[in-house]
């Protein structure tokens, strides 16, 4: 059989070479169009039909490649964007695939453009004519920021595969549940004045002190009340990420800002957290009316869990010899689950994701190809 697309390593190189950074900072944020076009070309060569969709009001795109007719089948999904990188911490070129000591370095090698190189390589090694159910490949945009790619895709698609596999770097373990993420910013507006006379102003740091006390109560409450034993950190966590306020030693501090995040376990919804935060801060809102302003930062991701007793999990467990586990990071699973049962399973370790000198350990290469092949055979043959 003549191979219609470049070799595994050449594809990998071509994907890493195209910068596709997603960032909340407008100056760093990039379109993923060139990468989407490249992927479309590769999958077209393999006779897949391609649908490209533009995420409204952005320069970002999703791609759905599909082959085979009928219902069911398998959807393999990955995001096309990466996080930003710190050029001072990287010792290698983030956009050049560098092989060194059995590792493949580059931004997106594990998180997660590399996953598409695996899929393409496996597709070259199987007899596509034999498939009885469709194979879908989804490439999403903006996973690293607001997950708008996955959010938009589920609203606009009618496909119904039997299973979705997201190839995030799970060290080839089968992840069936993960935590969610919600983050807040609180501004306290006081009144400034000369520090020699406290009655000159309202000190925002002192108000923030009461707010922090209340949030710490909530942190303890969440830890005591909610538990999911399958998680390595079995309770919802809260983290104060930053605090800023004040500008001169002799001035009453007029503005203080606090940022914090909560990571809920499955069983605790985002709405419940919203209510708990509001309730906990109610007394401070009443005591200092029009001085405390709470808002959500970024976009929240719900916690996710797929029942490990389900048929799909059992099927993957037995055919690929995997045991379902949980993870503390977030993925697009809470959105893609609207299409089909969704699990996370991919090459490389999450330890290397979002880190300088991100790399894929080459020991994952052959096992990953085997697993993807098994999944296609199990779900589509």
Contacts to Zn ion by CB under 5 A: 111-112, 168
Three-state DSSP at 326 gives: strand
**45 annotated among ligand-binding-site residues:** no
317 is catalytic: no
Q: Which is nearer to Zn ion, 73 or 149 (CB)?
A: 149
Report whether 37 belongs to an annotated binding site.
no
Say whether 209 counts as a known binding-site residue: no
Residue 265 per-residue DSSP state: P
Q: Are strands 98-100 and 292-301 parallel, antiparallel or unpaired?
A: unpaired
Distance CA 342, CA 346 (A): 13
Cα separation, 324 vs 253, in Å, equals 51
- The CB-nearest residue to Zn ion is 111
Residue 361 labeled ligand binder: no
Under a CB-based contact definition with an 8 Å cutoff, are residues 276 and 269 in contact? no
Cβ proximity to Zn ion: between 111 and 357 the closer is 111
Point out which residues pair with 255 in neighbouring strands.
Answer: 189
Helix 8-17 and helix 33-45, axial crossing angle in degrees, nearest 10: 160
Contacts of 187 (CB under 8 A, 6+ apart): 255, 256, 257, 292, 293
Minimum CB distance to Zn ion, residue 21 (Å): 13
Active site residue 81: yes
Q: What is the smallest separation between the CB atom of 171 and Zn ion, expressed in angstroms? A: 14
Nearer to Zn ion, 121 or 144 (CB): 144
Question: In angstroms, what is the minimal distance from the CB of 35 to Zn ion?
Answer: 14
The active-site residue out of 10, 13, 29, 81 is: 81
Give per-residue burial for 9-42: e unless 16+ CB within 10 Å, then b.
eebbbbbbbbbbbbeeeeeebbbbbebbebbbeb
The residue behind tokens 């100056």 is 27
Q: Which of 299, 183, 180 is nearest to 241 (CA)?
A: 183
Tokens 């990998």 map to which residue?
12
Catalytic residue from among 13, 121, 143, 162: 143
Measured CA to CA, the distance from residue 95 to residue 107 in angstroms comes to 6
The smaller minimum CB distance to Zn ion, of residues 5 and 325, is found at 325
Q: Which is nearer to Zn ion, 104 or 292 (CB)?
A: 104
User: Nearest 10 degrees: CA dihedral of 86, 171, 364, 116?
Assistant: -70
C-alpha span between 376 and 118 (Å, rounded): 13
The answer to whether the annotation marks 178 as part of a ligand binding site is no
Minimum gap (Å) between residue 178 Cβ and Zn ion: 12
The Cα angle at residue 96 between residues 93 and 101, in degrees rounded to 5 = 85
Minimum CB–partner distance for residue 144 and Zn ion (Å): 7
Q: Would you say 13 or 168 has its CB closer to Zn ion?
A: 168
Task: Give the three-state DSSP class for 317.
Answer: helix
Minimum Å distance from CB 353 to Zn ion? 6
Nearer to Zn ion, 172 or 215 (CB): 172
Name the minimum Å distance from CB 110 to Zn ion: 8
Binding site membership for Zn(2+): which residues?
Answer: 79, 111, 144, 168, 354
Residue numbers annotated as active site: 81, 143
In the annotated binding site, the residues are 79, 111, 144, 168, 354
């Amino acid at each position: 059989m003549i191979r219609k697309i470049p070799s595994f390593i050449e594809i990998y190189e071509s994907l890493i070479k195209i910068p596709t950074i997603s960032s909340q900072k407008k100056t760093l944020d990039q379109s993923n169009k060139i990468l989407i076009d490249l992927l479309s070309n590769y999958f077209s060569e393999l006779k897949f039909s391609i649908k490209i969709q533009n995420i409204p009001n952005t320069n970002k795109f999703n791609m759905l490649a599909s082959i085979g007719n009928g219902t069911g089948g398998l959807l393999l999904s990955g995001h096309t964007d990466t996080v930003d990188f710190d050029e001072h911490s990287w010792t290698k070129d983030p956009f050049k695939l560098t092989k060194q000591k059995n590792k493949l370095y580059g931004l997106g090698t594990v998180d997660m453009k590399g996953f598409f190189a695996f899929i393409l390589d496996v597709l070259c090694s199987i007899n596509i004519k034999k498939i009885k159910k469709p194979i879908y490949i989804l490439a999403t945009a903006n996973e690293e920021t607001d997950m708008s790619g996955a959010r938009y895709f589920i609203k606009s698609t009618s496909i119904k595969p039997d299973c979705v596999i997201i190839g995030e770097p799970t060290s080839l373990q089968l992840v069936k549940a993960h935590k969610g993420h919600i983050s807040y910013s609180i501004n306290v507006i006081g009144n400034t004045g000369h520090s020699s006379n406290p009655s000159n102003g309202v000190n925002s740091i002192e108000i923030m002190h009461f707010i922090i006390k209340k949030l710490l109560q909530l942190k303890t409450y969440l830890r005591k009340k909610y538990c999911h034993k399958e998680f390595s950190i079995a309770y919802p966590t809260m983290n104060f990420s930053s605090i800023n306020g004040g500008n001169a030693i002799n001035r009453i501090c007029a503005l203080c800002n606090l940022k914090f995040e909560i990571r809920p376990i499955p069983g605790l919804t985002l709405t419940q957290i919203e209510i708990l935060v509001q309730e906990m801060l109610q007394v401070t809102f009443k005591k200092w009316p029009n001085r405390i302003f709470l808002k959500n930062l970024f976009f929240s991701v719900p916690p996710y869990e797929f029942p490990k007793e389900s048929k799909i999990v059992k099927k993957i467990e037995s055919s690929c010899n995997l045991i379902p586990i949980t993870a503390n990071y977030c993925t697009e699973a809470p959105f893609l689950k609207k299409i089909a049962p969704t699990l996370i399973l991919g090459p490389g370790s999450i330890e290397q994701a979002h880190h300088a000198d991100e790399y894929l350990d080459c020991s994952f290469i052959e096992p990953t190809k085997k697993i993807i092949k098994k999944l296609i055979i199990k779900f589509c043959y």
